[in-house]
């Protein structure tokens, strides 16, 4: 994993990067700024785009804040933008597209939470400094007024950015009371940017962790996905566990810290899990470009069944029999609670349930039938299962690690060879339902399904059959059935 995001910055380097980025986006921001200034309104580039410009992360999504009310904003951009939308009008936001640029313009605002509410009350503000003061972290509370390009930093965000630390503009207790989701965002930004979190922020997160319960599951889920898909997820996950937030949003993770790995390869299963996650990320190139949430979350959840299945045997041996099956059930339950899609739930829980299957392969003793079943059970998650299984090897014994790697290489080679010969990815019986009914002289019903299942098992056990051999086997099975 790259440590580029962790390199120190100097104020001079930050200023150089900002100047370069403003030159790149200047035609858009100056033109739009002039449009608002002519109407007597203020406009400033704000938040993430300013922060990202300082750390060299270029983007075409531009966020602005303005003194104009939404109706005025919509009127001003309607003749300038290629497309305009107002889905965020209730929060003071008008969106638009200008060429390759995606733009969001939000009225100065003040946003607070009722102690028992899951949704913010939005009040429009009257100054840029007031708007910046309600933002989550100082590194997101910087702005550039346009068209004049005046830099505004009332809370020392540029210094915090140079020091790579997350602080809140005001007291963290006030910030998290207003919007408890900001505690999750602290962990997410730590994971995305490689930043540390100021001690007073960590202390407030720890004291107020329970307040996250007023936030909807969907909003928590979205932050968790961004965290897991970040370049440094260990930083964010560790912060969630250390502050107690994980006990509310992903309690299966801190529970692992109480369980000793059965081979004593790591301090505990929790540390092993984070290592598996990082090793899984290192293998993501097998799936194509970009972070893969399903693969990463399966790595994070693969051992969550261990606390429920731990048993102490004679001789000091600790076992976790069936933790794969139990873990898959826990994974489904947690992902449903976080409102994940059925597709994501099925994909991750399937990987958790199958992550131990390879260990029955031994030194390559599996029959072709067993290899076929491995592929069939993995289905469209086979490549992710390859990644998880390889990542799950965290032994410090290099000889053992090399042996496991060679053995899995052998299994993948067998899968590829059988795949070429038999089209493993789409294994079906050698006879279809219509052929079954014609041979047996029966109509649609339960018997057809039973015959289909028999032929599928035959295909798994013995490989492809000729139509004649399949028909003979089907008739023999039919004749041997009880009346």
State pLDDT tens for residues 445-461. Answer: 889 888 988 898 888 78
Sequence-distant (≥ 6) Cβ neighbours of residue 239 within 8 angstroms: 186, 187, 190, 197, 202, 205, 245
Q: Are 300 and 256 a contacting pair, CB within 8 Å? A: no
Q: How confident is the model at residue 366 (pLDDT cuts 50, 70, 90)?
A: confident
- Supply the pLDDT for residue 192: 94
- Rounded mean pLDDT of 365-375? 86
pLDDT, residue 99, reads 93
Q: What pLDDT shows up at residue 108?
A: 95
Q: Per-residue DSSP letters for 151-168?
A: EE-TT-HHHHHHHTEE--
- How many whole angstroms separate alpha carbon 339 and alpha carbon 348? 14
pLDDT for res 389: 95
Sign of CA dihedral 2, 234, 318, 386: negative
Q: Are 182 and 223 in contact (CB under 8 A)?
A: no
Rg (CA), the chain: 28
- Contact (CB, 8 A) for 40 and 56: no
Q: Is the pLDDT of residue 265 over 50?
A: no
pLDDT tens-digit series, residues 88-128: 898 899 999 999 999 999 999 875 556 665 555 667 888 99
Collapsing DSSP to helix, strand or coil, 35 comes out as helix
Nearest to 189 by CA among 161, 208, 159: 161
**Predicted pLDDT at 418:** 81
Buried b (16+ CB within 10 A) or exposed e, 404-442: beebbeebeebbeebeeebebeebebbbeeebbbebbee
Instruction: Identify the pLDDT of residue 368.
Output: 85
Q: Tens digit of pLDDT for each residue in 302-323? A: 999 999 888 888 777 888 889 9
Give tens-digit pLDDT for 385-424. 999 999 999 888 899 899 889 999 999 998 888 877 666 6
Q: How many CB atoms lie within 10 A of CB 105?
A: 25
pLDDT at 261 over 50: no
> Order of strands across the sheet with 43-46?
83-85, 93-98, 101-107, 61-66, 43-46, 143-145, 150-152
pLDDT at site 426: 62
Res. 25 pLDDT band, cuts 50 70 90: very high
Give me the sign of the Cα torsion angle 20, 25, 26, 32.
negative
- Beta bridge partners, 83, equal 97
DSSP state string for 179-247: -THHHHHHHHHHHHH--EE-HHHHHHHHHHGGGGGGS-HHHHHHHHHHHHTSS-HHHHHHHHHHHTTHH
- Candidates 314, 341, 311, 346; CA nearest to 328 is 346
The pLDDT value recorded for residue 116 is 60
Complete domains list, the chain, with CATH: 4-163 (3.30.460.10), 169-250 (1.10.110.30), 260-426 (1.10.3210), 433-480 (no CATH)
How does residue 5 score in pLDDT terms, banded at 50, 70 and 90? Answer: very low
Give the Cα separation of 67 and 126 in Å (integer): 6
Q: Is residue 456 a contact partner of residue 427, using CB atoms and an 8 Å limit?
A: yes
pLDDT at 465: 84
| Residue 114, pLDDT score | 61
Question: In angstroms, rounded to a whole number, what is the distance separating the alpha carbons of residues 274 and 253?
Answer: 10
SS3 392: coil
89 secondary structure, DSSP code: G
Rounded average pLDDT over 142-151: 94
259 has pLDDT over 70: no
The pLDDT confidence band at residue 258, using thresholds 50, 70 and 90, is low
Summarize the chain as % helix, strand, coil (round to 5).
60, 10, 30
The tokens for 431 are: 């006879």
Rounded to whole angstroms, the Cα distance separating 438 from 429 reads 15
Q: What is the pLDDT of residues 46-60, one digit of tens each?
A: 988 899 888 888 788
Percent of the chain with pLDDT over 90: 63
Q: Which residue has the higher pLDDT, 454 or 263?
A: 454
CA atoms within 13 A of residue 15's CA, in its CB half-sphere = 6
Res. 262: pLDDT tops 60: no
Reported as a single tens digit per residue, the pLDDT across 319-345 is 888 999 999 999 999 999 999 999 999
The pLDDT value given to residue 266 = 41
Give the pLDDT confidence score for residue 65 in this predicted structure: 97
The answer, yes or no, to whether residue 254 has pLDDT greater than 70, is yes
What CA–CA distance (Å, rounded) separates 143 from 124?
18
For residue 111, what pLDDT is reported?
58
Question: What's the mean per-residue pLDDT of the chain?
Answer: 89
Q: Give 189 or 120, the one with higher predicted confidence.
A: 189
- Find the mean pLDDT for residues 70-83: 96
Q: Quick one: pLDDT at residue 6?
A: 52
Residues 181, 84 contacting (CB under 8 angstroms): no
Tokens of 52: 């990202």
- Give alpha helix (H) positions in 91-142: 128-133
**Per-residue DSSP letters for 281-326?**
HHTGGGG-SS--HHHHHHHHHTTTTHHHH-EEPGGG-EE-TTHHHH
């Amino acid at each position: 994993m790259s440590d580029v995001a962790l390199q120190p910055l100097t104020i001079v380097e930050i200023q150089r990067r900002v100047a370069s980025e403003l030159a790149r986006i200047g035609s858009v921001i100056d033109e739009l700024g002039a449009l608002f200034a002519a109407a007597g309104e203020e406009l400033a580039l704000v938040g993430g785009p300013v922060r990202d410009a300082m750390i060299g992360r270029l983007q075409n999504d531009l966020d602005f804040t303005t003194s104009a009310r939404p109706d005025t904003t919509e009127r001003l951009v309607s003749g300038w933008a290629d497309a305009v939308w107002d889905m965020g009008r209730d929060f003071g936001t008008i969106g638009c597209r200008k060429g390759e640029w995606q733009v969001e313009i939000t009225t100065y605002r003040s946003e607070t939470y009722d102690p028992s509410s899951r949704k913010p009350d939005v009040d429009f503000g009257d100054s840029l400094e007031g708007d910046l003061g309600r933002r989550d972290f100082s590194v997101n509370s910087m702005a550039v007024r346009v068209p004049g390009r005046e830099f505004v930093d009332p809370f020392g965000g540029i210094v915090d950015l140079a020091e790579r630390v997350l602080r809140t503009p005001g007291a963290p207790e006030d910030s998290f009371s207003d919007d408890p989701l900001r505690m999750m965002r602290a962990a997410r930004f730590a994971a995305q940017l490689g930043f540390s979190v100021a001690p007073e922020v960590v202390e407030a997160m720890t004291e107020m962790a329970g307040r996250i319960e007023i936030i909807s599951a969907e909003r928590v889920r979205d932050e968790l996905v961004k965290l897991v898909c970040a370049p440094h997820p260990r930083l964010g996950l560790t912060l969630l566990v250390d502050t107690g937030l994980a006990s509310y949003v992903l309690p299966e993770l801190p529970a692992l810290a109480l369980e000793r790995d059965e081979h004593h390869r790591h301090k505990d299963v929790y540390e092993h899990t984070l290592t598996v996650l990082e090793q899984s990320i290192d293998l993501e190139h097998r799936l194509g470009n970009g972070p893969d949430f399903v693969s990463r979350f399966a790595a994070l959840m693969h051992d969550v069944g261990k606390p429920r299945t731990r048993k102490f045997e004679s001789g000091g041996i600790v076992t976790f029999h069936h933790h794969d099956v139990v873990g898959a059930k826990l994974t489904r339950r947690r992902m449903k609670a976080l409102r994940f899609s059925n597709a994501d739930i099925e994909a991750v829980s399937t990987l958790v349930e199958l992550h131990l299957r390879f260990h029955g392969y031994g030194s390559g003793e599996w029959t072709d039938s067993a290899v076929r079943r491995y592929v069939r059970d993995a289905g469209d998650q086979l490549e992710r299962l390859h990644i998880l299984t390889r990542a799950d090897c965290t032994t410090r014994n290099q000889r053992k690690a090399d042996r496991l790697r060679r053995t899995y290489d052998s299994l993948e080679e067998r899968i590829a060879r059988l795949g070429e010969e038999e089209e493993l990815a789409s294994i079906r019986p050698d006879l279809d339902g219509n052929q079954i009914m014609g041979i047996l002289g029966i109509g649609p019903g339960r018997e057809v399904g039973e015959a289909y299942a028999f032929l599928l098992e035959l295909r798994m056990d013995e490989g492809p059959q000729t139509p004649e051999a399949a028909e003979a086997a089907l008739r023999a099975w039919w004749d041997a059935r009880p009346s």
